[in-house]
Chains A and B, each alone.
Chain A
Amino acid sequence: MARLRLQILIAVVLLGSCGVANSFGREDDVFLDRVVPIFQARCLECHRAGLSKGDFSLEDADSFFEGDYIERGDSANSHFVELISSQDSHRAEMPKNGSPLTDDQIKVIRSWIDSGASWPDGFKLNYDAKVARPLDYDWWSFREVVKPVVPVLIDSPNRDWIRNPIDAFVLEMLERKNLAPSKEANRRTLIRRLSYDLTGLPPTIAEVEAYEEDKSEDAYERVVERLLASPRYGERWARHWLDVVKYADTCGYDKDKLRPNAWPYRDYVIRSFNDDKPYRQFVQEQIAGDVLFPGTEDGILGLGFIAAGPWDFIGHVEVPESKLDGRVARNLDRDDMVSNTFNSFCSLTVQCARCHDHKFDPITQDHYYRLQAIFAAVDRADRVYAVDPKVEVERTVLRNKISKSEKSLAKLNDQLDRAGGQALVKLRERIAAVKNETKKPEFGYHSKVESRQDTLKWVEIEFDQPQSTKQIVLHAAHDEFNNIGAGFGFPLRFRVEVNGSTVFNRENADFPNPGLTPIVIPVAEPLTSVRLVATKLAQRSSDYHLALAEIELLNSRGENVAATGKVTALDSIEAPVRWGKSNLVDGIWYESSGETRKELQVKLDAMVLSLIGPSGVEQKSSFKNQIAESRKALSQLPAGKAVYAAATDFKSQGNFKATQGQPRPVYFLPRGEVASPGPRLEPGIIPLSAGRTIGVELKSGESESVARSKLALWLTDKGNPLLWRSVVNRIWHYHFGRGIVDTPNDFGRMGGERSHPELLDWLAATFRDGSESVSAESFKDLHRLIVTSSVYRQSSSYSGNGMTADSGNRYLWRMNRRRLSAEEIRDSILHASGLLNLEMGGAGYFLFQLEKTEHSPHYEYHKFDHTDPKSYRRSIYRFIVRSQPDPFMTTLDCADSSQSTPARNETQTPLQSLTMLNSDFSLEMSKRFARRIELESADQSERIQKVVQESLGRSPTELELSTMGEFVQQHGLANLIRIVFNLSEFVFID
């Protein structure tokens, strides 16, 4: 206000000199004191010169009164008032972003207009972001979680309905809305509901019947215990979590490469649920398990969370960070990590602050980029997680042994080589040539084609450091193009230069094509460059070019050092996989030889014996044996287990290089533009209230792992209200089909309303702190509490006044009927068919034929053979392709792994019907199911009985038996089963 007053003062001074100061009357005071603050705080952000939305500015009188928004003296006829007021129960159109004006504020504006809308001459409003947008923490989700008192409903006619505190909260709300709970569902319904809900699978008919007949008091509770103890429970509930975190087995984007090591994270989630891992540990492992739980497998596996989302291969591997596109890709990559963390654990849409301060919630761009800075050192890559310390000691011992033996062997080999000279080298080369006999797709280097044969071409290998090299070996290429084959592209005339001077000259006469025979050129001095210059090119068809499979640079030990150099060329066609400069030094070329390997080996053995004698040969083989044994022992150590996870240290791939823990600089990006960065920002954690931070604070200059671990600790602090509310709401959502807040990823001002605010807080506090019947942070205890409530056990029938008073069942006067999820449908079909394989864990199975993996893998679903028994495992174990998702599952509203899916859609479409009727999977299962039943029973009506029992968990009615019987008579059992899979009763649970 001080600032405002100052402006007015200035205005007064300026106006005063013009003699109009006396126009500041009472109405002006109303305007300045009461109307202006509203305009400044709520309107000017959008409606001012330059960016005036809808061409309407409130900065000065001229623009304000210009468009016919205001009828001076008549607020009822002013369109402006219409815009800021709610109409027929619809929210007001303005302000577009954020909460509507309060009734008082509207009243102030109306009365100002009614009394003439006076606006002091020349007075201009100034926009000030701080006035317009103070960070407003006054919102339910930011408030502390305080456990509410459970309502006492002694006078309620339904008081006996209350089984636990959940019922009390729900009943209290129902009665407030003049609603009554529904009666309990029948036993078959209950056990189907429970089984699907807790394990994602139907009960067997035996389980249904046993429960229906169990008259003991705790029959229901025992079913619940059995299901919670089942490993199927973790498989079902892990799927929910994987929906939220965008888990998939490929990277997405262009090429959509496979992630062969993503699955250990999926198994980790399943195991965590089955083990009922305390929630805080579960969260901490996923953000900073490497730091907070060092030496544990789960500490690494959990980091699969950070890496779960999509990743742009081209943006990281092909484009360097020095280019804008590379920085954009890395910015978006961190954005995914930040939003995955905050959407999943806090239900906070921090990503809205990437381009501007969050429009609705108290998150600034500064906050946002400080969060990005926490993730600035991690990438998504394979990370080893076998970390048993004893094993590590053993590994070191073995590695030392190997290196000792290798040194001794090298010494002996040196002696041998010196004695053997070129003859030995040649013989070895011939043996190597035989090894190379299978043709690999990496052909070599290939220049541009030219129309003139005498066009000069060159290709070169350069080194930063001089390389002591004894021999250059040229290998000609092999390509069937134009039936050329061996010697493809080998120049007719050429020279070889070492360090700029010619060491091998064949420019004066045509050189006979060497075919596959290597050309060996001795070298005297250490080299920093080798260049082959072609002066007369080989003919290709009607044109000319230079091609070469390989240049080997052999040192005194016969090792090829070429690969450490950089290949440059005058030009190159760069057509991977076959042709590319890098193929010149990849150790791959094609050779063929007349003599067999065996014959050559005999020659070699004889030569070696003559050179170093029997004792030398014996020593040599003993060293070799030692090395082999140690290597074998090493390979048998439980190593090489990798998980695709957040990593700071991994093998480089093109421009994708590990940070080694050194954070990339993160800048404040105005408008989110990577091209125009603001100041560099340190890591930081968002405040949850003005002037109060919980638990931990980040200090400047802390290492990336410390920063990440502090974020994990902050997230899981008991004082972080978002974490606890978010997670219990998700659990509630999955049990009832709708959360207490129906936007499980967004608890901000744009999120949904709470249907039962007190219940939400009671659940959050109980889950956080525990109670008599619930251990703190135990999912299983929370499930038990929910599913044993009377609310959960209600019938899903529509009855009473609920239909009219609360048709959407927001207040839970009945249970929600739901369609099964894609996974449940697929698993149920496998289950009913008797084919479901309950093997747990491991790499995902394919539901497609995989083709062309070398570049952009093709996932050919239409070519998959559904008789493949590997695909009969539960759906959670299928290999999930991000950009080409399984069509069967997608049609059934499976989660899209390109985005966080906190709630599945539930649609009914004709394509779904076609898929359920006609997919190869449905047909194969119908046949297999029928075949099994036909073997088990000879009687037709018994067969039908079995089909109905095993797929619907009940016996058929007489009428059904006869109708189905007629159909089976005509079309066989498999056709009936195909129809049964399509029954509403099969895909819906009451």
Chain B
Amino acid sequence: MTIDLLRRKFLFDSAWGFGSLALLDLLNSESRSIPSQEGRQKVTSGILHHPPKAKRVVQLFMAGAASHIDLFDYKPALEKHHGEPSDFGEKVEAFQNGLGPWMKSPFQFRPYGASGKMLSDAVADLGSCVDEMAFIHNMTGKTGVHSQATYLQATGFQRPGFPGVGSWVSYALGSENENLPAFVVLPDHRGFASNGPKNWGSAFLPTSSQGTTIFPQRERPIRDLFPKGELVTPNSHAQGLELLDKLNRDFAMTREGDERLESRLRTYELAAKMQLSAPEALDLSSEPKHIMKMYGLDRAGAEYPEAINVPEEIEYFGRKCLIARRLLERGVRYVQIWSGNDNSFPRRNWDSHEDLKREHGPLARGMARGAAALIQDLKQRGLLDDTIVLWTTEFGRMPSTQGSTGRDHNPHVFTNWLCGGGIRGGISHGESDQWGFKPLDRDNPTQVYDIHATLLHLLGLNHLKLTVRHNGIDRRLTDVHGHVIREII
């Protein structure tokens, strides 16, 4: 980062320490005060470029690549030609060897809502929400390699070293609640997807904008929030903080003018506040029964078989969705929920090379139940108006068969959907071809840059103007690409 570090560092420190407006104000006044020769290096950030439609985002990320044609993108042609040798009309490089016969979805499709959107039975729970949702069926990627594709969708770049989309948003907007992190990540409880925490790292943005991981099922859901063991008691903690504050104040007083030392005092105050706020946000005991039921969390203490199964997926995904709602309600700016872990054995992600029905069935039903509950719950609380829900994955899956029941990678076309926060509901934008192999209009696909540009736009940010100078380049979330998708807002 080539910003005037020594003078500006303390401002970063509190990207989730100050209220966003305060931060914006500081950044603005700071950039105005930079003399001209350094002005050309200034960070253009923290400036609302236009009035926002949305204030916060929850992103649902399906690791391993969820199949568009088995969930949201209905393909009658596959039903008609099921079992016939596949013919793409061109040479196709499959990632593995999934160029077998055309394969219809193992799930039935039915129409839902006023828009009559066709959804597969695996995501039937989302049927009640389709009129709020905007589907984009002509998403295209750049690679069929999981790691690169995950990076591309999560950071806008195909390789490591770039901030996650949530980092950009929290860097630009800060948190609405200084007692909680601005960017929270709820990973799959079984482990991280490809690239692990680098998908939500801050890279060249300040550390404070990186995603804070929360594992609700762990003994300590947030790392280091509280001390483990007997050593520290609530009393020794409280009095210790008092002592610390006093000694640090003395130290700062003899070093007048160094704002970092002042800011450090404040970080301990905020840490203490977070110790109060975070557990409250994660505590579901105050949620009424009907809400628990809505998210599929009414089976407390249930035990699950070893094989992948629907109730277990519902419970885990639903819990993350409910926690997400509580975090959003309390002012967290960006929540990212992951479904699916790495490619270990047995498979617990969306990478269904062998048996699509086996994994997609439970994963999709779990996801759909939680996502539908989240959308409805946000709506009934009036939060959906300014909260964007974004569903995304690495790439799609092939309409042809791999083995006899699996599908190979399809980086050429896949589906995203968005809802809330200024998104037009009940529409499908862009189409894939009759097989779901490539975009129908191959010259005008939608790319992750467009999704990100739209997201930023709704948040009041111009993706062209949100830049940070790093190693000689003014970096943007959208690189040198991206158009706001006007049709869906």
Contacts and interface: CB of A to CB of B under 8 A. Distances in A.
B484 interface: no
Nearest to A319: B145
A798 interface: yes
Nearest to B236: A971
A121 B346 CA distance: 73
A239 to B, nearest CB: 18
Interface stretch (A85-93, A386-394, A599-607, A869-877): A85-93
Interface string A33-45: 0000000000000
Given A349-B472, A910-B270, A979-B240, A798 B226 contact: no
Interface in B334-351: 342-347
Given A254-B150, A971-B233, A909 B208 contact: yes
B376 interface: no
B100 to A, nearest CB: 9
Contacts of B144: 325
Interface stretch (B121-129, B191-199, B432-440): B191-199
Interface residues of B, number: 104
B471 to A, nearest CB: 5
B196 A884 contact: yes
A894 to B, nearest CB: 9
Interface in A902-947: 902-903, 905-915, 917-920, 923, 926-927
B411 to A, nearest CB: 8
A905 B10 CA distance: 10
Interface string B223-241: 1111111011101110110
Interface stretch (A425-433, A610-618, A651-659, A749-757): A749-757
B2 A752 contact: yes
B93 A255 contact: no
Contacts of A576: 345
Contacts of A86: 36
A506 interface: no
Contacts of A571: 403-404
B41 interface: yes
A226 interface: no
Interface in B449-476: 469, 471-474
A738 B5 CA distance: 9
Contact of A325 (B40, B41, B145, B248): B145
Interface-central residue, A315, A803, A972, by most chain B CB under 10 Å: A315
A399 interface: no
B426 to A, nearest CB: 32
B240 A975 contact: yes
A882 B160 contact: yes
Contacts of A572: 403
A971 B235 contact: yes
A967 B243 contact: yes
A985 B251 contact: yes
B244 interface: yes
A914 B472 contact: no
A974 B198 CA distance: 35
A898 B181 contact: no
Nearest to B269: A910
Given A887-B223, A910-B270, A978-B232, A751 B344 contact: no
B37 interface: yes
Nearest to A450: B404
A990 B246 CA distance: 19
B67 interface: no
B342 A90 contact: no
B281 interface: no
Contact of A252 (B7, B146, B160, B346): B160
Contacts, number: 301
B85 interface: no
Given A908-B13, A967-B243, A896 B206 contact: no
A737 interface: yes
Interface stretch (A372-380, A711-719, A739-747): A739-747
Interface in A101-120: none
Interface residues of A, number: 112
A794 interface: no
A455 to B, nearest CB: 10
B95 A990 contact: no
A76 interface: no
Contacts of B1: 903, 905
B204 interface: yes
A917 B220 contact: no
Given A312-B148, A577-B345, A960-B247, A905 B198 contact: no
Interface stretch (B254-262, B315-323, B413-421): B254-262
A629 to B, nearest CB: 43
A855 interface: yes
Interface string A556-573: 000000000000000111
A329 B7 CA distance: 39
A720 interface: no
B9 interface: yes
B46 to A, nearest CB: 16
B345 A858 contact: no
Nearest to B223: A887
Contact of A253 (B195, B267, B471): B195
A312 B403 contact: no
Which has the most chain B C-beta neighbours within 10 Å: A577, A745, A919, A923? A923
A574 B404 CA distance: 12
B72 interface: no
B381 interface: no
Contacts of A976: 240, 243
A227 to B, nearest CB: 25
A855 B251 contact: no
Interface in B130-183: 142-148, 150, 158-161, 181
Please indicate which of the listed interface residues B191, B208, B405 has the most CB atoms of chain A within 10 Å of its own CB. Answer: B208
A883 B17 contact: no
B101 interface: no
B251 A750 contact: no
Contacts of B5: 738, 742, 903, 905-906
Contacts of A861: 223
A817 interface: yes
A571 B406 CA distance: 12
A200 interface: no
B4 interface: yes
Nearest to A54: B464
Contacts of B158: 328, 332
A101 to B, nearest CB: 14
A766 interface: no
Contact of B223 (A91, A324, A862, A978): A862
A369 to B, nearest CB: 18
A542 interface: no
B403 A923 contact: no
Given A746-B2, A898-B161, A328 B270 contact: no
Contacts of B37: 753
B410 interface: no
Closest 4 CB pairs of A and B: A254-B147, A898-B160, A899-B161, A349-B472
28 contacts: A86-B36, A254-B195, A255-B343, A312-B145, A328-B148, A448-B405, A575-B345, A743-B472, A750-B469, A752-B2, A809-B6, A855-B345, A856-B191, A884-B192, A899-B161, A902-B471, A905-B1, A908-B13, A908-B14, A909-B17, A913-B271, A918-B225, A918-B227, A927-B231, A963-B247, A970-B236, A978-B231, A983-B248
Given A328-B142, A914-B275, 15 more contacts: A310-B160, A314-B146, A332-B148, A575-B354, A798-B256, A858-B192, A882-B198, A903-B1, A905-B1, A908-B260, A909-B267, A910-B268, A910-B270, A978-B240, A979-B240
Interface of B: 1-2, 4-7, 9-10, 12-14, 16-17, 35-41, 93, 95, 142-148, 150, 158-161, 181, 191-192, 194-198, 201, 203-204, 206-208, 210, 212, 218, 220, 223-229, 231-233, 235-237, 239-240, 243-244, 246-248, 251-252, 255-258, 260-261, 263-264, 267-268, 270-271, 274-275, 342-347, 353-354, 403-405, 469, 471-474
